[in-house]
Structure 1
């Protein structure tokens, strides 16, 4: 008894070809994702960043000596960020602070916000909605030369308090 039906009418050749076909399609999808997405994990100027580590340590030490503390929160329905800085006398507060929201894995989502002082409150607009998740926060006063950093879980919808700690 011989079966004279053509091979493509049988089930087993198609089942055997399905696995490699799925792998080929998945390979094309992976290649497309690698091309269109920017992971941003490696800094283009890594040597310069490495040289600035000692300067950052001095800036953190200065903030710790001043005993600075910053309370950071989202305001205006996610349109802006506000910060309350304590540890400095009111007359010694700077007019501007620089706030950087740094995503741990996606460099393209990082934001630099110029915070302007009104009384004891610093406020600045968000350029894009940071969404949810963990963000590294860097607060700097470029004129006085101090710097603080911490981690903010924006998913919790609550603010965060960042303490200056010596490194």
Structure 2
């Protein structure tokens, strides 16, 4: 029996499936890596504080402000109306002279761009008042401070998205010193 070998037609490599499949695997990894680098640079995480080194060096002053608040037995009742943006502060403590103005800092836990400070001016009812420039919601760290007659500060945290006891848009918060004297 004589069998005639069949003619095998060999196509060029670039017309074959497997070389392209093998080349596409590393090429897809390179493309994904470039896309990841682009996303990382466009959406870089900001530091919570740009001057973290200076703030680290100033920790003693910060602790002194906390201690001063404790020495003054400072407490503050804060009433926030989320609908109107009105903020009222009733300051309690052993102040020889009540401060003429306070600063209420709103510090967002994840985005430094959203941080802002409010000047709280004294009202005829011996409370302090201020107005939010825009609506705020979510979780915030609050720092109430004054530089007169002595530098002190109170800190707390509030969630303006949490339901209130009376289902209104009014949030009440008590700030007190966390330092044991």
TM-score if structure 2 supplies the norm length? 0.69
* CA pair 120-49 structure 1, distance change in 2 beyond 3 A: same
Unaligned runs of at least 5 residues, structure 2: 1-14, 164-170
Q: Determine whether 1:43 maps to 2:56.
A: no
| Cα distance in 1 between the residues matched to 2:98 and 2:42 | 44
Q: Is the 8 A contact 2:106 2:116 kept in 1?
A: yes
Structure 2 match to 1:107: 112
| Cα distance in 2 between the residues matched to 1:69 and 1:77 | 25
Unaligned runs of at least 5 residues, structure 1: 1-5
Structure 2 match to 1:165: 178
| CA displacement at 1:28 relative to structure 2 | 6.6
The count of aligned residue pairs is 160
| CA displacement at 1:24 relative to structure 2 | 7.8
Which structure has the larger Rg? 2
Q: Is the 8 A contact 1:98 1:142 kept in 2?
A: no
Deviations along 1:75-123, one digit per CA (max 9) or x if unpaired, are 372423221111246x722121011011111111101111111022211
Structure richer in helix, relative to its length: 1
TM-score if structure 1 supplies the norm length? 0.74
Q: Is the 8 A contact 2:48 2:111 kept in 1?
A: no
Structure 2 match to 1:57: 63
Structure 2 match to 1:128: 134
Q: CA RMSD in A?
A: 3.3
